[in-house]
Structure 1
Amino acid sequence: MSNVEQTVEIPHLGGSTVGYTFGRPYDPALPTLVLINSYTTSAELFRPQFADTALGSAANLLAIEPYGHGRTRSTYQHFTYWDSAVANLQVLAALGIDGAFVLGTSQGGWVAARMALLAPDVVKGLIPLGTSMDFESPRSVDLGCWDGVGFNTPTIDALADPVGEDWVVPDEFVDGVFDTAIGGLPAEERAFWLTTYRANYAGDAGRHRLRVSTVNLRDRDGLHGRLDEVRCPVLWLHGTADQVYSVANAQEEIQMFTRSPEARLEVIEGGQHFLSASNPLEVGSAAIEFVKRWA
C-alpha cells in the first residue's frame, strides 16, 4: 500500500501498539475521517477509499486497526469493542487530532458508536456501514439478520487449544468471511487477503487474537439503551444484499438516535455487508457530502 502505514504507542490495556494508516500525509486544514475495519480484516480493507482522490481531497483518511486486528497489539490479552473505542480516541489524542468523523464497516460501526458515546466532543459525525447496534439477539434474527451465535460458536470452539508457532489461519476461514461479507472474491483479491490474514493471524498469539475477536463478535453488549446519548449526526449506509444484518434492522435502529441533529438511513441497492469494499463509489460520495455538510 503506497500509504503512510505506522504504529503509535498508547497507555490503554497495559500499554498498546496500535496500527494506523493515513491515506496521504496529514493536512491540518482538512477534517479527518477515521476508518474502522470489519471483523478480522485490517486497514487494507480501505484500499478503495485511499484510492478515491475526491474523498482524499475532502478529508484526511485515517484507518485505525481495532484490538485483535492488523498490527494492533496490547499487553493485556483480552479486550472488547469498548477497549477499541478507547484506543482509537487515544490514537487521535496522540496524533494531535482533536475532532474527527468516524466511518465503520460492520463491527467498525459499533466501535464508532462507542467512540461517540465516550467522547461526544471529539466525534463530529458517524457513518456506520452494514452494521447493527444490537447484541446478537433473537430480535435481530427475527428481523432477518444472521444467527451470530450459531455462526461464530464453531470457530470459537475450534480455536480453543494452543497451537504451534507454525500455525496460520486456515484458508477456509478467510473464504468463509469473504463469502458471507461480499459474496466471495476474485482470484487476485483472494490471494491478497490470504497473504494478509496469514501475516496477521500466525502462531499461538495469532490464534488467540482471532479467538477473542470472534468471542467479541458473538458475545458483545448491545447499545439500544445508550443510542439516545449520541449527540452527533449519523448517516447509516446499508446494502440490500447484506447477508449479515438486514435493512429492516437498520430501519429500526436508526430511529433510536433520538438526540442526533440528524440520523438518516441510506439504502444502497445491491450493496454487500462489507459495503466500503463492495460499493466504494456510493460510500465515497455519501461520505464527502456528509463531511462537507457537518465539518
Structure 2
Amino acid sequence: MSDVETIPVPHLGTSTIGYRFGRPYDASLPTLVLVNSFTTSAELYRPQFADERLTATANLLALEPYGHGRTRASYEQFTYWDSALADLQVLDALGIREAFVLGTSQGGWIAARMAVLAPQRITGIVLLGTSMDAESQRSRDLGCWDGVGFCTPAIHALAEPVGDDWVIPVELVDAVLAEGLGGDVSPEERAFWHRTHQENYTGDDGRKRLRISSVNLRDRDGLHGRLDGVRCPVLWMHGTADPVYSVANAQDEIGLFTSSAGAELRVVEGGRHFLSASHPDEVDRATVEFIERWR
C-alpha cells in the first residue's frame, strides 16, 4: 500500500479517498480512472500499472471506493452513488476536467454511475465482468450468481462489534478469490491478498466498512432505467469463465446503452470475473485501442 495516497473531498461530511497514480501526472495525456472490485484495493491494478504501453497512453489513476483500501468518510453509511460522486470530486481536486473510467465488477457500476452523473466529464467507460442490474431474479435466470446468498451470511456474521485485534477471516478472502480468480490462485497471490485484506479490514472500523460494503453489493439499486443517460462510448469485456455475472447477461445489457456514442461487448475466452487480473494483456490492449479511438 506504500504507493497509495489520500486526498480530501467534501462528500459525506469530508472524506479521504485512497488514490494511486501509475506515473507522475502528464497533462498532455488523457486520464484513465481505475475502480477496483469488492474488498480489493488499488493493488488489483498492479498488472495495469506495469504495462508500459498502457501507462504511455494515459495517466492511470486508481481510486478506492468507500469501504475499500485507504478511503474513509466521516459518515459510516455509504452507497455506490457516494463512491461515484466522490470520485468526480477527486478529479476536481486534482484539476482533471475529464477522464475515461475502467471498473472491474462493482467498479463497473461505479463507472456507469459516474457517466450518468457527469456525462460531460466522462469520455468513455470500460466495464469488466460486471452487471448493470440489481441482484435480481432476472440476472439469476440469465446464469448470474446468487449474490444475496453469497453476501447475507457475511452480513449477519459481521453484525456485532469486535475488538481491536479483529481482522477479516481468511475464509472470506478465499471466497472472494474463488469467485474472482477461480480455484487456481497461486500461493503467492493468495498470500498477497490475505495480507492486503487483513491490513485493510482490522478492528471494529474495518468490520463496519466490510459489512456496509457487503450490504451495498447485496442490496444495490439497478441501473436499467438510467443507462440511457450514458452518452459516452462503452467497451464491455466479459470472460467466459466468470461465475458471478454471465456473458448472456452482458449480451442483454449492452443493448441498454441506447444513447452511447458506441457500445461494444467483447467476450474473452477463459476470462475470470476479475478480468483485469486474470487476462491483463487482453484488457490492456483493448483499453489502449479504446482510448486512442475516443480520446
Normalized against structure 1, the TM-score is what?
0.99
Question: Could you say which residue in structure 2 is the equivalent of 1:130?
Answer: 129
Determine what percentage of the aligned residue pairs are the same residue.
69
What pairs up with 1:91-130 in 2 under 5 angstroms?
91-130=90-129
AA aligned opposite 1:114:
R
AA aligned opposite 1:9:
P
CA distance in 2 between partners of 1:256 and 1:188 (Å): 40
* Misfit runs of 4+, over 4 Å: none
CA distance in 1 between partners of 2:13 and 2:65 (Å): 15
Normalized against structure 2, the TM-score is what?
0.99
The Cα of 1:5 is off from its aligned counterpart by 2.6
The Cα of 1:229 is off from its aligned counterpart by 1.2
CA distance in 2 between partners of 1:132 and 1:234 (Å): 13
> Residues 77-128 of structure 1, C-alpha deviation per residue, up to 9 Å, x if partnerless?
0000000000000000000000000000000000000000000111000100
Question: Could you say which residue in structure 1 is the equivalent of 2:44?
Answer: 45
AA aligned opposite 1:257:
F
Secondary structure in 2 aligned to 1:172? Answer: helix
> Residues 14-33 of structure 1, C-alpha deviation per residue, up to 9 Å, x if partnerless?
00000000011110000000
Question: Could you say which residue in structure 2 is the equivalent of 1:149?
Answer: 148
Question: Could you say which residue in structure 1 is the equivalent of 2:226?
Answer: 226
AA aligned opposite 2:204:
D
Secondary structure in 2 aligned to 1:161? Answer: coil
What pairs up with 1:1-295 in 2 under 5 angstroms?
4-184=3-183, 185-295=185-295
The Cα of 1:6 is off from its aligned counterpart by 1.4
AA aligned opposite 1:199:
E
> Residues 18-52 of structure 1, C-alpha deviation per residue, up to 9 Å, x if partnerless?
00000111100000000000000000000000000
CA distance in 2 between partners of 1:32 and 1:241 (Å): 30
Q: Which moved more, 1:128-137 or 1:186-195?
A: 186-195
What runs of 5+ residues in structure 2 fail to find an aligned partner?
Answer: none
> Residues 49-70 of structure 1, C-alpha deviation per residue, up to 9 Å, x if partnerless?
0000010000000000000000
The Cα of 1:253 is off from its aligned counterpart by 0.3
Task: Give the CA RMSD over aligned residues.
Answer: 0.8
Counting matched residue pairs gives 294
CA distance in 2 between partners of 1:94 and 1:290 (Å): 26
The Cα of 1:261 is off from its aligned counterpart by 1.1
AA aligned opposite 1:290:
F
